[in-house]
Amino acid sequence: LLILDSLCLQNGFVCVESATCSDKGIYKNIETLLLTISATNGDLASNFLKAVQDGNINDLEKESLNKIAYDLRAFLVLFESRIKETE
């Protein structure tokens, strides 16, 4: 899974675990998924504001921001998939 994640990240793709996508996943309910997207977006904004307070984003902060941004993209891809299922 780490290799696949790395390849996806290098090529601008997002990997979403099949368990998350299945009807039995914790994001079966679209409202729960939307709340998760909002919370993750808030985490990204909060961590970014903390990182730029000193005028320099260090490597640890970059790694954290990249992880949160990747998770946010994965949730958005999943949301898009759920919306298409409703059409």
Tokens of 18: 């099949």
For residue 22, count CB atoms less than 10 angstroms from its CB and return exposed for 0-12, middle for 13-18, buried for 19 or more.
exposed
Query: What's the whole-number mean pLDDT along residues 18-43?
Result: 77
What tens digit of pLDDT does each residue of 53-73 get?
999 999 999 999 999 999 999
Please tell me the predicted confidence (pLDDT) of residue 24. Answer: 44
Q: How far apart are CA 34 and CA 87, in angstroms?
A: 18
Please tell me the predicted confidence (pLDDT) of residue 19. Answer: 44
Quickly list H helices, the chain.
2-10, 18-21, 30-52, 59-85
Tokens of 6: 């790395």
